[in-house]
Amino acid sequence: MIIEILSNNKLNSFFQQLENIKQTYSELSSSCLHKDSKMPWTEFKKEYEKIGGAINSDKFSHIQSELIEEVIYSILEMLDGYRNLGFDIDIVDKQTGESIINGLQLHDKYRDFINKE
């Protein structure tokens, strides 16, 4: 029981970091829709400005969040063995040497995590 709680805490921390990444990059991309924004990270400044003329930044942020969420979900499916890698992957706590996956389906658990928010 204690191991399961610790595993869930670690898994939740992992998912929260994925959510933080999603939020950071959806906000970053939507902030670039304004002509005055600085975008040293992209080659598509003009395209962002055109998009900004067609859609407001809040809606664009939601679209970006949805897309990033699906990319994360697909990566987790790959980690769960659904993408024909030819080998198994695990996520291990380096301090304890224990798997935080423990036979779970990460992509399903991630969906549960984001639906709780």
**With contact defined as beta carbons under 8 Å apart, do 106 and 82 qualify?**
no
Instruction: Output the pLDDT for position 69.
Output: 96
3-state secondary structure of 66: helix
* pLDDT exceeds 70 at position 6: no
* Rounded Cα gap, residues 9 and 66, in angstroms: 25
Q: How many domains does the chain have?
A: 1
Instruction: Output the pLDDT for position 45.
Output: 85
3-state secondary structure of 38: coil
Label residue 3 by pLDDT band (50, 70, 90).
very low
Host domain of residue 11: 2-116
Instruction: Output the pLDDT for position 7.
Output: 60
pLDDT tens digit sequence for 17-76: 999 999 999 998 998 888 788 777 788 888 988 999 999 999 999 999 999 999 999 999
Given the structure tokens 């933080």, which residue do they identify? Answer: 20
